Structure 1
Amino acid sequence: MCTTLTRRGFGAALGGMLAGPALAQAPAWPNRPIRLISPFAPGGPQDVPARFFVDHLTPRLGQPVVYESRAGAGGALGMQHVAQATDGHSFLITSNAIASLPALRRDLAFDPLTELLPVTLVNESPLVIAVRANGPASLADYLARARSTPGRLSFGSSGVGSATHLAGALLMQRAGIELLHVPYRGAGHLVAALMSGDVDSFIGDISLTLEHVRAGTMRVLAVTTAERAPALPEVPALREQVTGYVVPFWFGLFAGKATPPEAIRRVLAELAPLAAPDSELSRRMAERGSQLLLTGPEPLAARLRAEVPQWREVVSRGNITPE
Structure 2
Amino acid sequence: MPTTRRALLAAAPALAFAGAAEAQPAWPARPIRLIVPFSAGGAADSAARVITPHMTEKLGQNFLVENRTGASGSLGGNEVARATDGHTFLWDASSHLVNPALLPRLPFDYATAFTPISLVVTFPSAVAVKNDFPARTLAEFVAAAKARPGAVTVGTQGNATAGHLGLIAFARRAGIEVIHVPYRGGAAAAQDLAGGAIDAVFTTLVSAGPVVDGGRARFLAVGTAERVESRPDVPTIAESGFAGFESNEWAGLFGPAGTPPAVVQAMSDALVSAVAVPSIRQRLIQIGCVPLATRPDDFARFVREGREAMATLVREANIRAE
> What's the secondary structure of 1:102's corresponding residue?
helix
Which residue is equivalent to 1:102?
100
Match for 2:258: what amino acid? Answer: A
Which residue is equivalent to 1:269?
269
Query: Where do residues 197-276 of structure 1 align in structure 2 (5 Å cutoff)?
Result: 197-240=196-239, 241-276=241-276
Query: Where do residues 142-153 of structure 1 align in structure 2 (5 Å cutoff)?
Result: 142-153=141-152
Q: Which of 156-165 and 295-304 deviates more?
A: 295-304
Percent sequence identity over matched residues?
36
Q: 2:29 is matched with which residue: 28, 31, 37? A: 31
Deviation at 1:22, TM superposition (A): 4.6
Q: Which has the larger radius of gyration?
A: 1
CA distance in 2, matches of 1:213, 1:59: 36
Which residue is equivalent to 2:132?
134
Q: C-alpha offsets along residues 87-146 of structure 1, whole Å, 9 cap, x if unaligned?
A: 222211112221111122112333333321111111112111110222112100111122
Deviation at 1:262, TM superposition (A): 0.9
Q: Which of 219-228 and 20-29 deviates more?
A: 20-29
Contact 2:145–2:151, Cα closer than 8 Å, also in 1? yes
CA distance in 1, matches of 2:34, 2:207: 26
Which residue is equivalent to 2:66?
68
Which residue is equivalent to 1:43?
41
Contact 2:272–2:294, Cα closer than 8 Å, also in 1? no
Say what the alpha-carbon RMSD is for the aligned residues.
2.5
CA distance in 1, matches of 2:132, 2:103: 39
Contact 2:115–2:254, Cα closer than 8 Å, also in 1? yes
Match for 1:221: what amino acid? Answer: L
User: Taking structure 1 as reference, are residues 133 and 197 closer, same or farther at Cα in structure 2, changes over 3 Å only?
Assistant: closer
Deviation at 1:17, TM superposition (A): 6.2
Query: Where do residues 9-28 of structure 1 align in structure 2 (5 Å cutoff)?
Result: 20-25=16-21, 26-28=24-26
CA distance in 2, matches of 1:158, 1:59: 34
Which residue is equivalent to 2:76?
78
> What's the secondary structure of 2:35's corresponding residue?
strand
Deviation at 1:78, TM superposition (A): 0.9
Deviation at 1:27, TM superposition (A): 2.3
Which residue is equivalent to 1:194?
193
TM-score (ref. length: structure 2): 0.88
Q: C-alpha offsets along residues 227-261 of structure 1, whole Å, 9 cap, x if unaligned?
A: 12222223221123224321121110111123211
